[in-house]
Structure 1
C-alpha cells in the first residue's frame, strides 16, 4: 500500500479507471488564425499583425492601397543638373539586391511602418561610393536609449547576442504614433485583432455550415412494433439496415435502392436548421476595419451608400492622412539624399518634392480652377473700377 493509497478488499483486482485520452500535439482550433483570440492588448507582437494581413484580405489590400496613394517624389537642389543626376541615380539604385529604384525601397519602408508601427532601413555606402539601400528586419533589431535618454542605440540580435551596430549613422529608423516614453511606434492595425477574430469566426462558421449542406448526413431511425417478436430482433434488424444503408450510399458505379420493412424514417441531419444571416455582423466588423485604415468603402468594391464617388470632404480627410505619412518619410529621404551628396563631395542642401495627391476627378479639378480664375478676374476688375460682368454692374 502506498503512502496515500487506499486499502483494497481481499481478492479485488480492480484497476483505477483512466480518463479518456486526447491528442496533445494537434491544432487546438480548426481556424488557422486562432492566435487572434490569444492576443493581449498593449502587447507588441509583430506576428499578430503579419497574420492579420494574411488572414483578412481587406486589411492587406488597405495597406497596399495606402502605399500606392502615397505617390512619388523627387530630389531637388538649387542646381538643376545636380537634381537631375540625383533623380537618375536613385531611379535605378540597388535595393536589397532584388529590386531597383528608391521607390521600391520607400514602398517596402512605408508598408513596414504601417503594419508594425516601426520601420527600419539602411544606407549601404562608405566614403567612396553609395552602393545600395536595404530594408531591414525588425525581428533582428533591438533599439535602446542612450544614457542621455534621447539618442538611440541599435543592436543586431541575429546571432543570439545583442551586437552593437558598427555604423549607426547609416541606419534609417521611423516610428508611427509612438506612445510617450516608448521607442517603438504604434501599428495602424492596433485594435483590429479582436475585430478580425470575430470576423474570421463568422467566416469559419459559414464554411462549416456550407460544408455540411454540400455533404449531407442522414439519420435512419427504426422503431420496433409493439409485439414482442419485433422487439426481440430489433438490434439485429438495425444492424442489417445499417449495413444495407452503407452499401447503398457507398455505391458509385450503379444506383442501389434501400429497402426496409417496418417503421423506418430517413431524414437529413440539420435539415430543419436555417443558416444565420451573416450580412449584418460581417458588415459591422468590416466597418470597424475600414474606419481604422482611413480609406473609403467603395475603394474595396463595397457599396454601402447611395453615392459611389468620393466627396470633397472625404478626399480632404484622406489627403490629410497621406500627408501625415509623408511627413514621417520625408526626413528619411532627406537623409538618403544628403548621404549621396556627402559621398560625392558636394556641399549642398536637398529638398523632397512630393507629387500632388490626386483623389478627385480631373474634370472637377479643372472646373474648380476655372471658377477660381473667374473669381480672381472679377475681383481684379472690381478693384480697377471697370466691371464688365452685367451682374456685377447691377450691384
Structure 2
C-alpha cells in the first residue's frame, strides 16, 4: 500500500510558530533579552528636563498639542457610559480622567523611550488607571514578538500576575529591539555645552556685581620709605578694606604712589548670543516644536507658516498613533467588563495650529465663492 499523502495547508492557514528572521538563541540568551532601560540613562534624561527649561517646555507643549479624543460606539448607551468613564476614571492617587493618564504616559514615552501603565480591576469592574514608574519595573523581550513586564521586589525581578492588564509602549524602537528611543537622545552633548556657557555667564556677572580690586603701593627710593614698605602696605590694605566695607560710607585717603585697579576690568565678556542660538537651534530641531511656541523670536514674524504647521501636525499624528493601541486596550477592557459589544472607534480632535482669524477668513472666502458659483449656475 502506498502511504497516504499529507494534505498541504491552504494558503494563509500556516500557523506562525517562530520568527524566521530572528537570531538563534545563545546559551545565555536570557541575559541578552533584558531591555536596556538603565536607571542612569533615565536620570540623565530627567536631569536634562530639569536643567534646560526649553526641553521641558517643548515636551509640555507636545502633551498639550496632541489634544483629546472621543470614543464612538454603535450603541448610544455604551458610547455615553464609556466616555463618562474615560472622563472620570481615577488615575493614581490624585488624578482623574484618561487624559491625565495619557499625559503622564506620553511624558515618560517621550523622555525615556518607554512607558508602562496598568489597568486596575477590582471586584469585576474597571477601577482605576496607574502610571508605573520605570524605576519599579523591568522589561524583558521573551520572544521577538512578546515583551514581558517584571516588577522589582527585594532586588529581584518578579513577573506580574496579570500581564494582560499591563500597558507598555516603546517610542521608535530599532529593528529587532523592544527598547524605545527617547526624543532627547543626542541632546546631552549639546545641552552640556549650553549649560557651560550659561554657567560662565553667571560667573562673569557675579564678578561684575562683586568687584575685586588690586591695590598696589610702590615705595620711593628713600631708604626710610623702603624700610617701612611692608607696614605701610598693610596699613593701606586695612584702610581700603574699611572703606569698602558694606553698611557705611567711608573715604580712602593715602599718601605716596598708590594705584587702585579693578581686577579683570581689561577683559570683555564675549558675545555668546551666536553660539547659544546655534545650540538652541539643534535642540529645537530635535524636539520638532516651532521656535516661537517656545518664546524664541528668531524671525521678524511670529506667525506659524503653513510648512511648520504641516510638519508639527505630522509629528503629533505620529504620537497619536502610538497612543491608539493603549486607548484601544482600555476601552476594550471596560466594554467587556460592562457587558457591551467590543466595538468602537477613536476620534481625535482636529489639530488647529493656524490663527483663528485666518481660519475664519478662509471659511468666509470659501462660502462667498460657493455663493457666487451657485448664482452663476442659476443664471445659466
Partner of 1:5: none
For 2:288 and 2:79, how far apart are their aligned partners in 1? 34
Partner of 2:22: none
Matched, 1:189 2:184: yes
Partner of 1:198: 193
Partner of 2:337: 343
For 1:366 and 1:223, how far apart are their aligned partners in 2? 79
Partner of 2:145: 150
For 2:89 and 2:237, how far apart are their aligned partners in 1? 72
For 1:251 and 1:336, how far apart are their aligned partners in 2? 66
TM-score by length of structure 1 reads 0.82
Asked if the contact 2:144/2:176 (under 8 Å) is kept, the reply is no
For 1:141 and 1:179, how far apart are their aligned partners in 2? 21
Matched, 1:250 2:255: no
Alignment of 1:99-110 (within 5 A): 99-110=95-106
Matched, 1:137 2:133: yes
For 1:387 and 1:354, how far apart are their aligned partners in 2? 38
Could you tell me which runs of 5 or more consecutive residues in structure 1 were left unpaired when the two chains were aligned. 1-41
Partner of 1:355: 349
Partner of 1:324: 318
Deviation at 1:359, TM superposition (A): 0.6
Could you tell me which runs of 5 or more consecutive residues in structure 2 were left unpaired when the two chains were aligned. 1-37
Partner of 1:159: 154
For 1:316 and 1:378, how far apart are their aligned partners in 2? 30
For 1:64 and 1:251, how far apart are their aligned partners in 2? 45
Partner of 2:289: 295
TM-score by length of structure 2 reads 0.85
Alignment of 1:216-235 (within 5 A): 216-235=211-230
Partner of 2:28: none
Matched, 1:52 2:39: no
Partner of 2:30: none
Partner of 1:30: none
Alpha carbons of structure 1 residues 343 and 127: separation in structure 2 relative to 1, 3 Å: farther
For 1:215 and 1:221, how far apart are their aligned partners in 2? 19
Matched, 1:169 2:178: no
